[in-house]
Chains A and B, each alone.
Chain A
């Protein structure tokens, strides 16, 4: 069974970087696509970006200057880094398998990140 689990700090200071890890079991990240999605207070959902089976990436243009998604295939993990965070980045962050680039069929449990001084 495909399982994903996010990990990382729940509190980040403004202007610092947010770094999260998604650990995947039951499926290799060298297949398919792997995305990050966040859900803001108030329920708005936003796709942030993905990393592909080959290591190529695509990012939401609204985040393009601040976001980086990388991976470690030896550990079957992929990572999110979001720079220069503000309180507007407070959200629950999810990693998910982006099935054939279209739909999100397996999700992690989510990690709530608060940006506050």
Chain B
């Protein structure tokens, strides 16, 4: 099984701050990676797919990148509505999720 190690597990940041969350894949998954946002009380929402492509309707302050087997989600200017839990998910071999990052406001 492909393991996705996500960090940090929790993160406290200020409004307008740049936030970065990373996922390390245990083996090569190419660009088969997605990021999801789950707001409190809501179901997960697809943010990024193909490691770098923005899903429909997602604000441009969200971006994804890849360096080898490390993947990053960047929020360029944190907004109140960005608070929630973020997950990465690999789609190369079966489907596994990272452990999640809980993003809170400082």
Where the two chains meet, the residues of A that have a C-beta atom closer than 8 Å to any C-beta of B are: 35, 43-47, 60, 94, 98, 101-105, 107-110
Contact = CB atoms under 8 A, between A and B. Distances in A.
Interface in B44-98: 44-46, 49, 55, 85, 87, 89, 91, 94-97
B100 A110 contact: no
A105 B55 contact: yes
B43 A47 contact: no
A58 to B, nearest CB: 8
B102 interface: yes
A35 B46 CA distance: 15
Given A101-B91, A109-B43, 14 more contacts: A43-B99, A44-B97, A45-B87, A45-B97, A45-B100, A94-B44, A98-B95, A102-B34, A103-B46, A103-B91, A104-B89, A105-B46, A105-B49, A107-B45
Interface in B24-41: 32, 34, 36
B96 to A, nearest CB: 7
B44 A103 contact: no
Contact of B100 (A43, A60, A94, A102): A43
A33 to B, nearest CB: 11
B36 A104 contact: yes
B33 to A, nearest CB: 9
13 contacts: A43-B85, A43-B100, A44-B97, A45-B89, A47-B95, A47-B97, A98-B95, A102-B32, A102-B49, A104-B36, A105-B49, A109-B43, A110-B43
